[in-house]
Amino acid sequence: MDYILTRSRRKTLSITVRSDGTVEVKAPLNCSKERIEKFLTEKSDWIEKYVTENKAKAEQYRFSGTIPFMGKQLPVTEGDCFMFSAETGFTIPKGRSIKECLPQLEYVYRKAAAEHLPKRVRYFSEIMGVSPSCVKINGAEKRWGSCSGRGTINFSWRLMAASPESIDYVVVHELAHLTELNHSPRFWKIVADTLPDYKERQAALTEITLKLNGIFR
């Protein structure tokens, strides 16, 4: 079985099946290869199940000629240089792949995030009676947003692929952490009081994650 092995000062073995079907094993520094192989054999049925499922999902959401942006599926065409329009879509240089244009795509998303997200933070901050110390944009792949104990809110530029409704959910989610830095019932009540339909907005983010994985991985 092919897998990626990561060693660290951890005490236990763990297996992760990534969204593209890749198997990753995390092991202690002194863990023998024999023990790792035995662990993989013991978990082989579980691994096979999730590898099959994740590969099927990856195939379903692989790049199909459009890129999600602010809730729209914008077409990708070829041209002389990279261009972007929120109305007409993306143009990439002839002969180049989407992955090769990631720096330009990231610039588009970062610019949109820097313009859109602070406005939504200010809007919901007034409604919720909170105020972050600052708002930052980062390149996180696995987290749409985060909130530090010092009140700093971070958003991934990838969030701009989601619909405005789902973007607002992430904004409210992180602002709620300014009051409850956890996921307790009190936290979810704050979210629900602000966005009663937050579960639907939250669920829509899963599909966007899969679509982005199909484009950028």
The CATH number that applies at residue 211 is 3.30.2010.10
Which pLDDT score, from 0 to 100, does residue 207 have?
A: 81
Alpha-carbon distances, residue 70 vs 66, 74, 215 (angstroms):
13, 10, 16
Domain span including residue 110: 98-216
Does residue 106 sit within a domain? yes
Q: Are residues 20 and 106 in the same domain?
A: no
How far is the C-alpha of 116 from the C-alpha of 87, rounded, in Å?
17
Q: Are residues 132 and 55 in the same domain?
A: no
In 60-162, the DSSP E strands lie at 66-69, 72-79, 83-85, 89-93, 134-138, 145-147, 152-156
Q: What confidence tens digit (pLDDT) does each residue in 7-43 have? A: 999 999 999 988 667 899 999 999 999 999 999 999 9
Taking the alpha carbons at both ends of the chain, their separation in whole angstroms is: 21
Which pLDDT score, from 0 to 100, does residue 56 have?
A: 62
Secondary structure (H, E, C), 94-120 = CCCCCHHHHHHHHHHHHHHHHHHHHHH
Average pLDDT of the chain is: 90
Which pLDDT score, from 0 to 100, does residue 54 have?
A: 67
How far is the C-alpha of 28 from the C-alpha of 131, rounded, in Å?
42
Which two tokens mark 116?
A: 């859109």
Number of Cβ atoms within 10 Å of the Cβ of 27: 20
Spans of the chain below 50 pLDDT: 59-62
Domain count, the chain: 2
Q: Are residues 117 and 197 in the same domain?
A: yes
Q: Are residues 103 and 42 in the same domain?
A: no
DSSP 139-192: --SS-SEEE-TTSEEEEEGGGGGS-HHHHHHHHHHHHHTTT-SS-SHHHHHHHH
Which pLDDT score, from 0 to 100, does residue 214 have?
A: 66
Q: Are residues 38 and 144 in the same domain?
A: no
Q: For the chain, what percent of residues have pLDDT higher than 90?
A: 70
Q: Are residues 111 and 201 in the same domain?
A: yes
Q: Are residues 142 and 55 in the same domain?
A: no
Which pLDDT score, from 0 to 100, does residue 217 have?
A: 62
Q: Are residues 54 and 105 in the same domain?
A: no
Counting every residue, how long is the chain? Answer: 217
Which pLDDT score, from 0 to 100, does residue 216 have?
A: 66
Helix (H, G, I), strand (E, B) or coil at 3: coil
